[in-house]
A = this chain, B = another copy of it.
Amino acid sequence: MGTTIRTATVADVPQILAFIRALATYERAPDAVTATEEGLRRDGFGPNPFYYCHIAEQNGLPVGFALYFFNYSTWKGQPGVYLEDLFVQPEYRGLGLGKALLKRVAAFALERGCQRLQWEVLDWNTPAIDFYSAMGAEFLDEWRNVRLSGEPLRRLAGSEVKLEPEP
Binding site for B on A (CB under 8 A): 2-3, 17, 20, 23-24, 29, 32-36, 39-40, 43, 48, 50-51, 58-59, 67, 69-79, 82, 84-85, 92, 94-97, 99-100, 102-103, 106-107, 109-110, 115-124, 129, 132, 135-157, 159, 161-166
Do A70 and B67 have beta carbons less than 8 Å apart?
no
Do A164 and B96 have beta carbons less than 8 Å apart?
yes
Do A116 and B148 have beta carbons less than 8 Å apart?
yes
Q: Which residues on B sit within 8 Å (CB–CB) of A85?
A: 74
**Copies of this chain in the oligomer:** 2
Q: List 14 A-B contacts (CB under 8 A).
A: A34-B77, A40-B77, A71-B84, A74-B84, A95-B163, A95-B164, A110-B153, A115-B149, A118-B148, A135-B148, A137-B148, A138-B146, A140-B145, A145-B145
Do B163 and A148 have beta carbons less than 8 Å apart?
no
Instruction: Name which residue of chain B comes closest to A138, CB basis.
Output: B147
Shortest beta-carbon distance from A41 to chain B in Å: 10
Residue A71 contacts which of B82, B135, B157 (CB distance < 8 angstroms)?
B82
Do B162 and A146 have beta carbons less than 8 Å apart?
no
Cα–Cα, bound, A129→B144 (Å):
9
Cα–Cα, bound, A121→B152 (Å):
18
Shortest beta-carbon distance from A90 to chain B in Å: 13
Shortest beta-carbon distance from A114 to chain B in Å: 9
Residue A152 contacts which of B20, B136, B149, B164 (CB distance < 8 angstroms)?
B136
Cα–Cα, bound, A154→B117 (Å):
11
Do B102 and A156 have beta carbons less than 8 Å apart?
yes
